[in-house]
Amino acid sequence: MRRLIAGIAGAVFGFGLVLSDMIDPDRVLAFLTLNSGKWDPTLAFVMGGAILPMLLAWRISAQREQPFLGGEFPPRPTGGPDRKLMAGAILFGIGWGVIGLCPGPALAGLLIGGWPVALFVAAAFGGMALYQYQFTRA
């Protein structure tokens, strides 16, 4: 049941990205380039539409002993940001700012984005595989 709910949530997320046109790198880049004279605030509304329900979900989950569908909540992070997190965030931001894609919209636009999106997704999976090889081997 949890996987079904997760699949439905992912499909709704992907549909929202397509509907809001956040799979278009030019729209994202128009948001990220404030001084271009062509600033597009659409992404801010999409982010707000995601942050507000999530804030509500965090408030509700903080008052619960266990998730609605059973199991356990993951442990809360301890400590602050470390060097790996900061390096990853910086790389993510640079990549997003250079090409206007991040993993969610890339997957949502995979079928209609052409070869550049397919190349991005392949590179993302390659990066994940490299991480698994580099940091999880015993």
Per-residue pLDDT, 90: 93
- Which stretches of the chain drop beneath a pLDDT of 70? 138
Alpha-carbon Rg for the chain in angstroms: 18
For residue 81, which of 90, 69, 70 has the smallest C-alpha distance?
Answer: 90
**Phi, psi (degrees; rounded to nearest 5) at 20:** -85, 0
Domain residue limits, the chain: 2-135
Per-residue pLDDT, 103: 86
Rounded to two decimals, what is the model's pTM? 0.70
Per-residue pLDDT, 138: 57
The contacts of residue 10 (CB under 8 Å, 6+ apart) are none
Per-residue pLDDT, 4: 92
What's the CA gap between 69 and 104, in Å, rounded? 24
CA atoms within 13 A of residue 121's CA, in its CB half-sphere: 16
